[in-house]
Amino acid sequence: MELAIKAEGLNKRYPSRKKTEAIRDVNLSIPKGILFGLVGPDGAGKTTTLRILSSVMDPSHGTAWVAGYDVNKQADEVRKRIGYMPQNFSLYSDLSVIENLNFFADIQHVPASEKQTRIDEMLAFIHLEKFRKRRAGKLSGGMKKKLALACAMVHDPRVLILDEPSTGVDPVSRRELWVLLAEVAQKGVTVMVSTPYMDEAERCHQVGILYQGNLLVTGTPDEIIGALPFDVIEVKAKPRKLMRQIVSESQDILDWNPVGDRLRVLVSENGRQSKALHSLSQAFKANKMEVSILRSTRRSMEDAFVHLVKQQRSQV
């Protein structure tokens, strides 16, 4: 299996943080041509990891290779082969869509003989042909993200590294952006993208969950979810306080987590789900409660994240 990205023991300590490392002992092996999601909340170390892999920042310890080149010793070679889109990717607001693409093609040294073809391909790919003369500052948030993606890809990189590209855009634009990223991966480009959204993690071929600088797990979404040692029941009933009390006191339940106005209730896998459903139903009925939802449901990356974080905290 040929790797596009490999990291061994990456560690970063900032001078202003004497006791805390931004990331510690991060190891990654990302095959070519996949969509890899680095998932975690704000402050987890996602941006630090991506900046090191993009050769923007040196690690305190450890080594990484991108597209076969050492990010410390061969940074120029790495930069020729990657497209990097930081969180605050700066388009030139006073320039039009086509002028931005021309500018980024020039600074990435796209050959003159290929530039126009490549720009036309990017415009078609992000569906902005009709807006080629519109100033970037006048684009919607979703369009700006698409243009930023095109600018990061105009030189035809082998590896695309994107730091939370869907943050701050509406749900429709977020979905459209992920469709584009899937198409990029289908063309053989390795895409590494960070996100705080667990639903986006399930769109990736492989995922790494990062929390407080520690890489908790890597694998496919199915592998990570499949390793969970519990099944899930979804519950919504009124009054809510009584619902939580009944769930908390049930002997058939391992744990529960609130999600909006409902609970995700965890039960062991050994046939306990039916028993838990029955006991909760009886308790709700005995208390004459209004039950909107009481059902088995699929496990999710959200469940995996919460479980792994609780495990991590219990080990500290």
Using the Cα atoms of residue 305, residue 85, residue 35 and residue 131 in order, give the sign of their dihedral: positive
Domain co-membership, 164 together with 20: yes
Residue 306 lies in a domain: no
Residue 129 lies in a domain: yes
Q: Domain count of the chain?
A: 2
For residue 249, what are the domain limits? 229-298
Domain co-membership, 234 together with 207: no
Domain co-membership, 12 together with 147: yes
pLDDT tens figures, 136-189: 999 998 999 999 999 999 999 999 999 999 988 889 989 999 999 999 999 999
Domain co-membership, 130 together with 163: yes
CATH number at residue 173: 3.40.50.300
Residue 312 lies in a domain: no
* Alpha helices for 30-88 (secondary structure H): 46-53, 75-81
Domain boundary among 196, 220, 244: 220
Per-residue confidence (pLDDT) for residue 273, from 0 to 100: 86
Domain boundary among 180, 197, 220: 220
Contact 59, 215 (CB under 8 A): no
Contact 240, 69 (CB under 8 A): no
Domain co-membership, 184 together with 76: yes
Residue 303 lies in a domain: no
Domain co-membership, 167 together with 246: no
Domain co-membership, 75 together with 136: yes
Domain co-membership, 162 together with 16: yes
Residue 304 lies in a domain: no
Domain co-membership, 164 together with 254: no
Domain co-membership, 179 together with 284: no
CATH number at residue 273: 3.30.70.100
Contact 103, 95 (CB under 8 A): yes
pLDDT tens figures, 207-254: 999 999 999 999 999 999 999 999 999 999 999 999 999 999 998 899
Domain co-membership, 210 together with 241: no
Quote the CA–CA distance of 26 and 208 in Å, as a whole number.
10
Domain co-membership, 293 together with 204: no
Banded pLDDT at 18 (limits 50, 70, 90): low
Banded pLDDT at 58 (limits 50, 70, 90): very high
Burial 34-46 (b: 16+ CB within 10 A, else e): bbbbbbbeeebbb
**Which residues neighbour 61 within 8 Å (Cβ) at sequence distance 6 or greater?**
9, 10, 11
Quote the CA–CA distance of 71 and 268 in Å, as a whole number.
45
